[in-house]
Chain A
Amino acid sequence: MSRSSLWLSLFVLALPFTGVAFLIHETVGFDWSELNDAAWRASLTVTLYVTIVSTVISLVIGTWLARSVYRRRSTWLASLLRWPMFVPHVAAAYLFYVLFSGGFPFYGLVEANERHHLVVILTYVWKEVPFVFLMVIGTYAQLNRGYVDMAKTLQLTPFEQFKVAEWPFLVKPLLDSFWVLVAFISFAYEVPALLGVTFPELLGVLAYERLTTGLFLNAYESYAVALIWTLFIFIGVIGSYAVTAKRRRRIERGVRR
Chain B
Amino acid sequence: MRRLKQFGLMLSLIFLAACGTTRAEIAPTFEQAAEEAKQSTVNFYMWGGDDGINRYIDEYVAPRLKETYDVELNRVPMDTAEFVRQLSLDKRANREEGTIDLMWINGDNFRNAAEADLLQGDLLDKIPNAALLNEEAQSIDAGTPTNGLEVAWGNVQFVMHYDADKVKNPPTTFDELHRWTEENPGRFTYPEVTDFTGNAFVRHLLYAEYGAGAGDGEIPEDFWEKLATWSPYLWKQGATYPKSLAQLDQLYAAGDVWMTMGFNERRAEAERNDGVFPNGTRALVLEHSIASTHFLAVPFNAKNPNGALVVINELLSPEAQLAKQDATYWGDGTSLDLTKLDAADRDAFLKLDDGVTYPDPERLAERSIPDYGPAVIDAIREEWDRVAQ
Contacts and interface: CB of A to CB of B under 8 A. Distances in A.
A209 interface: yes
Contacts of A213: 81, 194, 381
Contacts of A197: 239-240, 388
A130 interface: no
A227 interface: no
A39 B194 CA distance: 14
B240 A198 contact: yes
Contacts of A216: 85, 88, 112, 116
B378 A215 contact: yes
B85 A214 contact: yes
Nearest to A7: B7
Nearest to A195: B240
Given A114-B239, A196-B240, A214 B389 contact: no
Interface string B65-100: 000000000000001111011001000000000000
A197 B192 CA distance: 10
A207 B139 CA distance: 35
A249 interface: no
A145 interface: no
B112 A215 contact: yes
A102 B254 CA distance: 10
A171 interface: no
A199 interface: yes
A115 interface: yes
A114 B79 CA distance: 27
A198 B238 CA distance: 9
A38 B388 contact: no
Say what secondary structure dominates the interface of chain B: helix
Contacts of B79: 212
Contacts of A209: 194
Interface in B250-273: 254, 256
Chain A's interface size range is 20 to 34
A88 to B, nearest CB: 19
A214 B243 contact: no
B240 A214 contact: no
Interface string A214-232: 1110010000000000000
A42 B386 CA distance: 12
B85 A212 contact: yes
Given A212-B79, A212-B81, A214-B80, A39 B385 contact: yes
A113 B234 CA distance: 14
Given A102-B254, A209-B194, A215-B381, A199 B82 contact: no
Given A102-B254, A213-B81, A214-B108, A198 B241 contact: yes
Given A113-B239, A197-B239, A216-B116, A38 B81 contact: no
Contacts of B378: 215
A193 interface: yes
Contacts of A38: 385-386, 389
Nearest to A3: B3
A216 B84 CA distance: 10
Interface in B36-53: none
Nearest to A211: B85
Interface string A158-189: 00000000000000000000000000000000
A216 B378 CA distance: 12
Contacts of B82: 212
Contact of B243 (A102, A114, A115, A193): A193
A191 B116 CA distance: 34
A198 B239 CA distance: 7
Nearest to B254: A102
Which of A113, A115, A219 counts the most B-chain CB atoms under 10 A from its CB?
A113
Nearest to B82: A212
B256 A214 contact: no
Nearest to B381: A213
A168 B254 CA distance: 53
Contacts of A42: 389
Given A196-B240, A199-B388, 17 more contacts: A42-B389, A102-B256, A113-B236, A198-B240, A209-B194, A211-B85, A212-B79, A212-B81, A213-B81, A213-B194, A213-B381, A214-B81, A214-B84, A214-B108, A214-B109, A215-B112, A216-B116
13 contacts: A42-B389, A113-B239, A114-B236, A198-B241, A213-B81, A213-B194, A214-B80, A214-B81, A214-B84, A215-B108, A215-B112, A215-B381, A216-B112
Q: Please provide the 7 A-B residue pairs with the shortest distance between their CB atoms, ordered closest to farther.
A: A214-B81, A197-B240, A199-B388, A113-B240, A198-B388, A198-B241, A198-B240
